[in-house]
Structure 1
Amino acid sequence: MIAKLTKKRYSTNLFDVTQDIIGALPLKLVEQWLSSDQTYDDALKLLASHQVQGYSVSSDSVGLTKLCQQKGLLEILAIINQPKKIVHSYGKAIAGESVGIWAADNTQMFYPDHLEAVTLVSALLTIQDVIKQTCQVQIGLGAHYGSFYQISGGLYGIEADAIEEIAENHTDGGEILITQAICDRLPMQHSFRLEERDDLHTELGKIYRVLDGKRLEDLQPIDQRYPIPYSEDFYVDLLEYESRLADHDFAHYLTHKYIQHKVVVLIESKNEAVETHEVSMFNQLSFSALMKDIGLRLIGSQLDAEIKVVSSLGIYAFDEANIALRFAQTFRQELANQGIPCRIGIDRGEVLIFNLSVGTRDIAGMPVNLASKMAQDKGEFGKLYLSYAFKDLLDISGFREIKYQVSGVEITAYEG
């Protein structure tokens, strides 16, 4: 049982750090939570002004893991840029708003309560048609109507988490899944052909696959500028590269200009489950602040080593393998001293590190994906995982070699 989090467990100056350091983490809200009795009623009071009603629509690319093994990082970024532009521009055309920073291949849109469900579902069919016709990678879409909490540009709550998980883990390319709540808002004589996904049992009730239906033939996309995480210069180059994917000289030029070689450390802490989601949400934000605090203390003046801390996840990048391993082991011990287990994945290779509009940063590249697959997909809490790339770089005599497959990819890792 982890002791209740209080401000005493954090550095005294953490809640005074500037916005460019904390990014989207709502530290002031966390501070209010830590100063309360941390009851369900306290959570509801703090969240009351953040509650919104409407539709949350999430997407995830399909087959990207294998694609990452076949193509370079810049080509992958150009390929996943295409469906993101379509999701955003068609979504904006029916009053949708983007949620969060679209740094990876996932997207999330929020649509207002007054939008008719027929319009939304027709728009999603239209989006999938355009993506199928014009993009190299396909996406799965998950949509739900419900109540959410809008905080620091993100969408929180059990319903937002649930539909995001459905889109990410239970959709195929070109598929659209909608919840019972959206079906209930459709007219009795709607023209959509739906099929229940009886293999899915979620807190959102029944889930339906949209097989066919009316499209919005006259819908015109109005804004392709989704929440782009890259610098303006890089994004201009990326757009040009989209039309020059076969130009190897230009690809080499961009690689030399933007790509770095780094050792990536991905750390996921384990949060205790509690009875109510609202309390759990605040506890998770509090753990994020704790991870932020520990990371800032351990990296000292090397502030650029921290890439991001979001939810229970922290990502860091280093130049030297031994420094990265020592950081990871110390971080694990710091969390363990507070009764918090974590699991860590470490890989090295080509990455793109980019600045976000809020002043913080994000990262893309195969090392991030592999670190996640070792730690989050197959890892045990309390363990640290090194990729095969460290076999001849570090002393791994105290590590156990393991082999497994994730998403059709053969992985060799060292557990310690």
Structure 2
Amino acid sequence: MLHSIPIAKRNTILTRMAALLEQERANIKLVNVEDSVNYSGADLAMRKRLLVDDEKIDGMIASLQQLVGQEDPIGKLLYSFTPENGMKIQNKTASFGTILIIYESRPDVTVEATAIAFKSGNKILLKGGKESLRTNLKIVSLWHQALSDNDIPNHWISYLNFDRNETQQFLEHPSQKVDLIVPRGGEALIDFVKKHATCPVIVSGRGNNFVYVNQEADLDKALSIIINGKTSNISVCNALDKVLIDTTLPKWETFAKKVVSELQQRNVTVLGDATIAQVTNVLQIESDAIWHEEFLDYKIVIGTVNSNQEAIAKINRYCGGHSASIITKNDLLANEFMENIDAAAVYQNASTRFTDGGQFGLGGELAISTDKLHQRGPLGLQHLVTNKWYIYGDGQIR
């Protein structure tokens, strides 16, 4: 098994991969240009996720360097018990075995997710989107070089260059043992994987994140957080899609107009519920169904509520279970909000854009899980493990 390789050697491979990314920086960008030119779709978020520039390569390298400094997640003692018969019983962390990662158009996943799965003792199967095929294959070739430079067989990191039918066949009748599947992408991809998979699946689900502006909010902070959440990167699952403004907020109408104006100046299409549409003259939403949608676009919906409790109820009804933030100076109200919101990450006075493995100190993430089993939120190195029981005896029988 991979986790029998000394941790120092695993770290050496990650360090070597970081060096190769720097060494091949120009060639990676050149290959990525081919993928970008060949993408003919109109999906702006897809195009942004597909792009590999210097900033993204810097992020890949930084995630590898951060992972190198983290402890080995394998073999950590979780529980120990010695019964009267003298046996020694221990529970320790263990690798899953083989993890299949299916993702759309994000070549940085080929680095970050692979690195996390590798260091946590797993064999990795990668199935990226056709849009980023050339870039993914280039990055996988660098992984293979890092492995071979350290006498590790290339089959520990494999790329599955499958079309949709071949992927379905592999999910239903895998040609090798797969212990866990992590799909990263839209709801159509997730539904496809869950329908056909024959092993456990961890869902990296939709965002549809909310900010609630409470009656005791600092309005300058609220405005900054909303602008950042919506416009800093529309193509990610931690982007902001919905804003709720408490009508008990003093001069809330003035604040709502300011938010709409600032968003529109940044080319964001703003829709509102009946109250917001009347106050600000934005288009009114046609149906409450839109509250369920993740946009991945320069688009946002603003609505009103009358209390903390109403905000909690509305967010729990419509959000994707990813992230939600309350803007308030009242710590008691914030605590009530954070304890009762059913999401992987809850915030007080901060942007939902921070829900990210690197920002949380995890060295990147395999995915951001909106499931509750076995781990919720960013899946970092220490989360990508299962457990195993070790029992040491001396002839005991039951």
Whether these two folds match at TM > 0.5 is: no
The structure whose Rg is larger is 2
TM-score (norm 2): 0.25
Q: Pick the structure with more strand per residue.
A: 1
TM-score (norm 1): 0.24
